[in-house]
Structure 1
């Protein structure tokens, strides 16, 4: 898992993007009665359809890695057939494999508006790494990051039908050429090779993320496209890591340029707690920096993780990782038995709500989805913060 970088904070602040992204909170009625809730059976550590298959050693290039990757593929084919799946492959030497090239395989799952053309869609991007540590033998990495992968899987399954209804409504109204905001898509990155094989360095870590960021930077879209390359089309890179224990581990707002998104997720957390929809410890607040000022310090490059090659290329990142790591971090106790399943379910729910609000799915959950897309005072843009 990631490391702190102790050589000081990055000076200065990152300027806000000039793009404006609308964001519509879900109503209390939608949260209480219409939004699909995490099912305990999906997160059972022994039989859970989402989580249990990931709770095995999954070192890059091993059978365990292939098994977990196939679990993801089967999930999307079975539950989300409208999504497009691709693999991004690379190889690299490591400090522990001599001259042997270790394979790294990133899974990219994407769903875009059906009328969209290549290069013209910006995407909310949800990210977790699925590999586990090389040593100690048998290491599981439940918080690091099996549980975050399962949280994202639930969120995508929970919003998929509403996304379909929204896009069908947009097409039926004939507004696809008029409303740029409806050009938002969504993608999931399950990244390989985040963990160091020997010790964390710039070259012994985040193998898959480094390869993917470099490749996408040079994957150029057609000249008439809105976005110049695949990397440029990432509107927001939301990285989940080290989540799922019962410990009180607050998450700071790490990035100045994406603080607006941290604020919106913190507000969603507060509403879910107020409505009694969380099952975990009510005394814990996960996102306490909601009132952080623009003039405060944002330690964007302090925490070493899969986001680094993306943020270095100008991608806006919402990094959901605690500043203080769980007590099970990088020990054999980071297994299914040490997960707090109510916390895992609550993170899955919060991830669902954030994605639904970012994609403006209010009115499209349940059988009585609204036929008109509403814009009102609840819509905010990141330039307003």
Structure 2
């Protein structure tokens, strides 16, 4: 990701996003308490989600292939009803000159089983899985191995709720109802985010630029609800540089500030329920919940969202400002992750996604599971208070 840049926002898009926000229904505390927790999956040495990604993942190398295999195999073996597809492209870079480097985006989707491709509006959760060429040996734990692992946890945790909800809709005759919004979940593991030499519009965002252009020029079938795959993105949520303690995530865009507030509210509720374990110095990861319209500027951080945003896609960018001190250094490795913060980002994102997908009453519950876990971690005699929003 690059330093702050300038962009204009689209007023028609703002109105469209407002219509999405108006139908948003909060999820209950009981459901939040029942959400699965990743725990050992984020162990940096043995965690099934995170540890295989704590390697160098430069495009065109064996490490990139290992990362791809880890992500694709996770879905194929654990979530077979999620579709896995690839968007492949090649490009030259300043370091490789005329040599074409492969960039391969991994696209994972879970749509209602009865829905046609062009009729599904998708919550789109995004992270890049490549790592930087230099310095040699750069791992990129926050940038962005940990966010990728978080999204894998979110997908696995949503599956039973989605399956139950859609089965109930089919049983009740609601499937295919023209007056019911058709919603799905899409996860993009993007390749080639990092610059090979110096961040420019052509030396960065290789996978994102190619995918956004391809989706923008690939029409859905006639009479579809959405004209193309780009248009079917209800909200583009990009996670980047997440995993160190005390992150501060600003609200960058006025047109998606409503979504930022939903994320901030989810964090606050989870902290009030003692379901998060990190203790940020400011009490919160997301401090801009009450930001006024007059306080927004036209500046933002360049990242994988830019090619999509320039084509009218609504974006929620979850990236800290200032950047963590380990950014683009060899210290951005597993040892410098704050695992409590990693787990908490996974839970906040899971809660946001479950609420977006209207999974209240559909998530599996194990009575006392979350309460027992928190009680054990805190100790029975500890005062049950935390710093709140």
TM-score w.r.t. structure 1 length?
0.91
- C-alpha change, 1:364 and 1:149, in structure 2 (3 Å) is same
Work out the CA distance in 2 between the residues paired with 1:92 and 1:188: 23
Q: 1:341 aligns with which of 326, 336, 339?
A: 339
1:94 alignment partner in structure 2: 93
Aligned residue for 1:185, secondary structure, equals strand
Aligned residue for 1:289, secondary structure, equals coil
Work out the CA distance in 2 between the residues paired with 1:244 and 1:224: 43
Work out the CA distance in 2 between the residues paired with 1:56 and 1:180: 47
Shift of 1:179: 6.0
Q: Is the 8 A contact 1:94 1:197 kept in 2?
A: yes
Work out the CA distance in 1 between the residues paired with 2:160 and 2:201: 41
Aligned residue for 2:262, secondary structure, equals helix
Q: Is the 8 A contact 2:208 2:307 kept in 1?
A: yes
- C-alpha change, 1:328 and 1:92, in structure 2 (3 Å) is same
Q: 2:319 aligns with which of 318, 321, 340?
A: 321
Shift of 1:166: 0.5
Q: Is the 8 A contact 2:247 2:280 kept in 1?
A: no
2:164 alignment partner in structure 1: 165
Q: Which sections of structure 1, spanning at least 5 residues, go unmatched? A: 369-385
Q: Is the 8 A contact 1:23 1:359 kept in 2?
A: no
Give deviations 1:305-349, integer Å, cap 9, x for gaps: 000000000000000001200000000000000000010000000
Shift of 1:294: 2.7
Work out the CA distance in 1 between the residues paired with 2:250 and 2:179: 32
1:46 alignment partner in structure 2: 45
Q: Is the 8 A contact 1:253 1:298 kept in 2?
A: no
- C-alpha change, 1:180 and 1:65, in structure 2 (3 Å) is farther
Q: Is the 8 A contact 1:257 1:316 kept in 2?
A: yes
Shift of 1:249: 2.6
Asked whether 1:279 is paired with 2:280, we answer no
1:267 alignment partner in structure 2: 265
2:248 alignment partner in structure 1: 250
Q: Is the 8 A contact 1:13 1:298 kept in 2?
A: no
- C-alpha change, 1:129 and 1:5, in structure 2 (3 Å) is same
Q: Is the 8 A contact 1:273 1:282 kept in 2?
A: no
Aligned residue for 1:189, secondary structure, equals strand
1:378 alignment partner in structure 2: none
2:177 alignment partner in structure 1: 178
Work out the CA distance in 1 between the residues paired with 2:98 and 2:9: 41
Shift of 1:182: 4.3
Q: Is the 8 A contact 2:114 2:176 kept in 1?
A: no
2:25 alignment partner in structure 1: 24
TM-score w.r.t. structure 2 length?
0.90
**Is the helix fraction higher in 1 or 2?**
2
1:144 alignment partner in structure 2: 143
Shift of 1:273: 0.8
1:225 alignment partner in structure 2: 224
Aligned residue for 1:128, secondary structure, equals strand
Shift of 1:207: 0.2
Work out the CA distance in 2 between the residues paired with 1:43 and 1:104: 26
2:35 alignment partner in structure 1: 35
Structural RMSD (CA): 1.6
- C-alpha change, 1:349 and 1:98, in structure 2 (3 Å) is same
Shift of 1:200: 0.3
Work out the CA distance in 2 between the residues paired with 1:366 and 1:216: 35
